[in-house]
Structure formats: structure tokens, C-alpha cells
Amino acid sequence: MRKSVFAAVCAAASFLVPAACWAADSDIVVNAPTAAASCLLSVDGTVTSTPKLPATAVTIDYLPPGGGASVRLGTNLPLKDGAYHWAGAVPGYMSIASGGQVRVTTNRQVSATGAVTPSCGS
């Protein structure tokens, strides 16, 4: 599943970063991240961008089931050949419940979410 929200973000943030809004919707694509939990959470994925509007880093958030407050897992993690990886414990959680998600947002404010598949203490 691919999701591009550049147009919506561009419209909402055009007063902040108008230069970023010149790119077409297809210039940056964040492929839906995959996430697995075994008491710890592991998030992997890829980002595709163009030289005209490069995505160079991602921020990863855990979104708990039921709409609780999101938890920041990593900020401005550099992309290596378009790929990212984060693994560790989610602060404040002893286990990862079914229904949680991760949101990955690029430094260009394009994001995608993916479901977490728990395998420990759900």
C-alpha cells in the first residue's frame, strides 16, 4: 500500500514552506511501513523521492490502539539508500497491544501509517 499526502500537506503548510509545494504529488512516496512487535518494536520501510525534492530522513511515531497519545520513537533518522530501520522498546509500554500503528513522516512532511503485528503479551 502506498500513500502520498503531499498535496494535503502542501495546502495546509503552504504559508510555512511555499517552495516545497512546487513539487508534484509523485515526487515523494512513502511506502507503508511494516512493523512487528515481540515485546520490542521493529519498524522497517522505504521512501522514494526525486532529486528535485529529496527526502533524507524520517520521524517514527507509535500510535496506540484506541487513539491515545502518540509516542515519538525516532526523530530525523537518516535514510540509507531510501531505507529506514528502528528497533527498541516503546517508552511507557510493557507490551504492544493489537491495533497499534506506526506513522513514518519524512523531513518533507509526507507520511504513511502501518499496522503493528504483536507477538508478545497482547
Residue 107 lies in a domain: yes
Please state the pTM of the whole predicted model: 0.67
| CA pair distance 6, 111, nearest whole angstrom | 8
Q: Which residues constitute the domain of residue 76?
A: 2-117
Structural domains in the chain (count):
1
- The CB density around residue 76, as the number of other CB atoms within 10 Å, is 9
The model's pLDDT over 73-117, given as tens digits with 9 standing for 90+, comes to 999 999 999 999 999 888 888 778 788 999 999 999 999 999 988
3-state secondary structure of 99: coil
Residue 122 lies in a domain: no
Residue 83 lies in a domain: yes
Which CATH number does the domain housing residue 47 bear? 2.60.40.10
